[in-house]
Protein backbone atom coordinates (compact mmCIF):
# COMPACT_ATOMS: atom_id res chain seq x y z
CA UNK A 1 0.00 0.00 0.00
CA UNK A 2 1.35 3.41 -0.88
CA UNK A 3 1.66 6.25 1.59
CA UNK A 4 -1.06 8.25 -0.18
CA UNK A 5 -3.66 5.48 0.15
CA UNK A 6 -2.76 5.00 3.82
CA UNK A 7 -2.99 8.72 4.53
CA UNK A 8 -6.32 9.11 2.76
CA UNK A 9 -7.91 6.37 4.88
CA UNK A 10 -7.07 8.22 8.09
CA UNK A 11 -8.54 11.51 6.95
CA UNK A 12 -12.25 12.30 6.91
CA UNK A 13 -13.64 11.61 3.42
CA UNK A 14 -14.84 14.40 1.20
CA UNK A 15 -13.72 17.95 1.05
CA UNK A 16 -14.76 21.46 1.81
CA UNK A 17 -17.44 22.08 4.40
CA UNK A 18 -18.31 18.38 4.82
CA UNK A 19 -14.72 17.58 5.73
CA UNK A 20 -14.62 20.45 8.23
CA UNK A 21 -17.85 19.23 9.85
CA UNK A 22 -16.54 15.66 10.11
CA UNK A 23 -13.21 16.86 11.48
CA UNK A 24 -15.07 18.98 14.03
CA UNK A 25 -17.10 15.94 15.07
CA UNK A 26 -13.89 13.92 15.57
CA UNK A 27 -12.46 16.77 17.62
CA UNK A 28 -15.53 16.79 19.87
CA UNK A 29 -15.18 13.02 20.28
CA UNK A 30 -11.58 13.57 21.33
CA UNK A 31 -12.56 16.18 23.91
CA UNK A 32 -15.26 13.86 25.23
CA UNK A 33 -12.81 10.96 25.43
CA UNK A 34 -10.30 13.12 27.31
CA UNK A 35 -12.98 14.31 29.73
CA UNK A 36 -14.31 10.79 30.37
CA UNK A 37 -10.97 8.99 30.60
CA UNK A 38 -8.37 11.47 31.84
CA UNK A 39 -8.58 12.71 35.44
CA UNK A 40 -5.76 15.20 34.82
CA UNK A 41 -7.70 16.76 31.93
CA UNK A 42 -10.80 17.14 34.13
CA UNK A 43 -8.71 18.77 36.87
CA UNK A 44 -7.05 21.17 34.45
CA UNK A 45 -10.41 21.96 32.87
CA UNK A 46 -11.69 22.84 36.35
CA UNK A 47 -8.72 25.15 36.84
CA UNK A 48 -9.41 26.63 33.40
CA UNK A 49 -12.99 27.43 34.45
CA UNK A 50 -11.66 29.21 37.55
CA UNK A 51 -8.67 30.96 36.00
CA UNK A 52 -10.27 32.37 32.84
CA UNK A 53 -12.66 34.68 34.72
CA UNK A 54 -9.79 35.55 37.07
CA UNK A 55 -7.66 36.43 34.03
CA UNK A 56 -10.41 38.61 32.57
CA UNK A 57 -10.64 40.46 35.89
CA UNK A 58 -6.89 40.59 36.57
CA UNK A 59 -5.74 41.73 33.14
CA UNK A 60 -5.97 45.46 32.55
CA UNK A 61 -5.35 45.40 28.81
CA UNK A 62 -6.49 43.16 25.97
CA UNK A 63 -2.92 41.86 25.66
CA UNK A 64 -2.73 40.92 29.34
CA UNK A 65 -6.09 39.17 29.20
CA UNK A 66 -5.07 37.26 26.07
CA UNK A 67 -1.82 36.20 27.73
CA UNK A 68 -3.61 34.96 30.84
CA UNK A 69 -6.38 33.15 28.99
CA UNK A 70 -4.05 31.85 26.26
CA UNK A 71 -1.68 30.32 28.80
CA UNK A 72 -4.66 28.47 30.32
CA UNK A 73 -5.65 27.18 26.88
CA UNK A 74 -2.06 26.05 26.38
CA UNK A 75 -2.30 23.80 29.45
CA UNK A 76 -5.37 22.07 27.99
CA UNK A 77 -3.71 21.68 24.59
CA UNK A 78 -0.54 20.19 26.06
CA UNK A 79 -2.58 17.86 28.30
CA UNK A 80 -4.52 16.61 25.28
CA UNK A 81 -1.27 15.90 23.44
CA UNK A 82 0.19 14.22 26.53
CA UNK A 83 -2.92 12.04 26.85
CA UNK A 84 -2.64 11.10 23.17
CA UNK A 85 1.00 10.05 23.65
CA UNK A 86 0.06 8.00 26.71
CA UNK A 87 -2.78 6.29 24.82
CA UNK A 88 -0.48 5.33 21.95
CA UNK A 89 2.20 4.05 24.33
CA UNK A 90 -0.39 2.00 26.24
CA UNK A 91 -1.80 0.67 22.95
CA UNK A 92 1.62 -0.62 21.98
CA UNK A 93 1.99 -2.51 25.25
CA UNK A 94 1.62 -2.23 29.00
CA UNK A 95 4.94 -3.88 29.90
CA UNK A 96 7.65 -1.68 31.37
CA UNK A 97 10.01 -0.26 28.76
CA UNK A 98 12.55 2.53 29.06
CA UNK A 99 11.33 4.36 25.94
CA UNK A 100 7.66 4.10 26.96
CA UNK A 101 8.47 5.54 30.37
CA UNK A 102 10.57 8.27 28.79
CA UNK A 103 7.76 9.24 26.39
CA UNK A 104 5.27 9.48 29.23
CA UNK A 105 7.69 11.41 31.44
CA UNK A 106 8.46 13.91 28.67
CA UNK A 107 4.75 14.44 28.05
CA UNK A 108 4.23 15.01 31.76
CA UNK A 109 7.13 17.48 31.80
CA UNK A 110 5.50 19.40 28.94
CA UNK A 111 2.29 19.74 30.97
CA UNK A 112 4.34 20.86 33.97
CA UNK A 113 6.06 23.54 31.89
CA UNK A 114 2.70 24.82 30.65
CA UNK A 115 1.43 25.01 34.24
CA UNK A 116 4.56 26.90 35.30
CA UNK A 117 3.94 29.34 32.44
CA UNK A 118 0.42 29.99 33.77
CA UNK A 119 1.79 30.63 37.25
CA UNK A 120 4.46 33.01 35.94
CA UNK A 121 1.96 34.96 33.80
CA UNK A 122 -0.62 35.31 36.56
CA UNK A 123 1.97 36.22 39.21
CA UNK A 124 3.71 38.77 36.97
CA UNK A 125 0.49 40.52 35.99
CA UNK A 126 -0.85 40.43 39.56
CA UNK A 127 2.46 41.88 40.78
CA UNK A 128 2.30 44.69 38.23
CA UNK A 129 -1.31 45.46 39.11
CA UNK A 130 -1.15 45.36 42.91
CA UNK A 131 2.42 46.19 43.90
CA UNK A 132 3.60 49.83 43.94
Q: How many residues does the chain have?
A: 132
Q: What is the pLDDT of residue 93?
A: 81
Exposure letters 34-59 (e unless 16+ CB within 10 A, then b): beeebeebeebbeebeebeeebeebb
Q: What is the pLDDT of residue 11?
A: 63
Q: What is the pLDDT of residue 16?
A: 87
Q: Model's pTM, two decimal places?
A: 0.83
Residue among 90, 87, 88, 80 at smallest CA distance from 114: 80
The whole-angstrom separation of Cα 36 and Cα 42 is: 8
Q: What is the pLDDT of residue 22?
A: 93
pLDDT by residue for the chain (132 residues), tens only, comes to 445 544 445 665 677 899 999 999 999 999 999 999 999 999 999 999 999 999 999 999 999 999 999 999 999 999 999 999 999 998 888 888 899 899 999 999 999 999 999 999 999 999 999 997
Q: Which of left, alpha, beta for 14 (phi over 0: left; psi -120 to 50: alpha)?
A: left
Annotated binding site for a divalent metal cation: 38, 86
Domain ranges of the chain: 1-37, 39-130
Longest dimension (CA), the chain: 67
Annotated binding site for substrate: 19, 40-44, 65, 79, 108
Strand positions, DSSP E, the chain: none
Give Cα separations from 81 to 61, 129, 130 (angstroms).
30, 33, 35
Q: What is the pLDDT of residue 82?
A: 96
Q: Which fold has domain 39-130?
A: Helix Hairpins (1.10.287)
Q: Which residues are catalytic?
A: 79
Amino acid sequence: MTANKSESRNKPPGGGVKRIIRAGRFSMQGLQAAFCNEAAFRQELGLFVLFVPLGIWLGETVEQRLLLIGSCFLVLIVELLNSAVEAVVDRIGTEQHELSGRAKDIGSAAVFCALVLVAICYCAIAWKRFMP
